[in-house]
Amino acid sequence: MPKTKFPQIIKDLPKANIPLEGLVAYLVQGQDQQILFMEFEKDTLVPEHTHEAQWGVVLEGRIELKIEGKILNLKKGDTYYIPAGTPHSAKIFAGYKDLTLFNQVDRYRQK
């Protein structure tokens, strides 16, 4: 697993079980939503998929996000929104960190 650069307050959160190599993700579980702090050690391709609505902000690095065929090149400080049921995929570059809100209580489980 990558060595995270998140502060201890985030590293004390439970880790999320997400099957992507080189990813560490910390989970905040709400009653109706989940928030994840994610950090990628390696370049990663995420195949096209759908789920409930997702909003995120890039904290470090860059991501190429494809939403309904439109490619967004996002970097530190950029935000994105993916409506529920919208097909999307991503190319995530090593060193990428983000904060992501999923409007879904059970998107990921704790490790």
- Give CA–CA dist 51/106, Å, rounded: 11
Q: Report the pLDDT value the prediction gives residue 65, as an integer from 0 to 100.
A: 98
Q: Is residue 2 predicted with pLDDT exceeding 50?
A: no
Q: Is residue 77 predicted with pLDDT exceeding 50?
A: yes
Domain ranges of the chain: 8-110
Q: Given 3-state DSSP classes, what are the helix, strand and coil percentages for the chain, each rounded to the nearest 5?
A: 5, 55, 45
- Give CA–CA dist 1/29, Å, rounded: 22
Query: Which residues are paired to 80 by β-bridges?
Result: 56
Q: Decide if 74 contacts 65 (C-beta within 8 A).
A: yes
The pLDDT confidence band at residue 3, using thresholds 50, 70 and 90, is low
Q: Decide if 49 contacts 94 (C-beta within 8 A).
A: no
pTM of the full structure: 0.91
Question: Any residues with CB less than 8 A from the CB of 21 and at least 6 apart, and which?
Answer: 42, 44
The pLDDT confidence band at residue 1, using thresholds 50, 70 and 90, is very low
Share of the chain above pLDDT 90, in %: 94
- Out of 2.60.120.1440, 3.30.1360.120, 3.40.50.300, 2.60.120.10, which CATH number does the structure's domain 8-110 have? 2.60.120.10
Rg of the chain on CA atoms, in Å: 13
The pLDDT confidence band at residue 5, using thresholds 50, 70 and 90, is confident
- Give CA–CA dist 18/49, Å, rounded: 14
Other Cβ atoms within 10 Å of 29 Cβ, number = 15
Share of the chain above pLDDT 70, in %: 96
The pLDDT confidence band at residue 96, using thresholds 50, 70 and 90, is very high
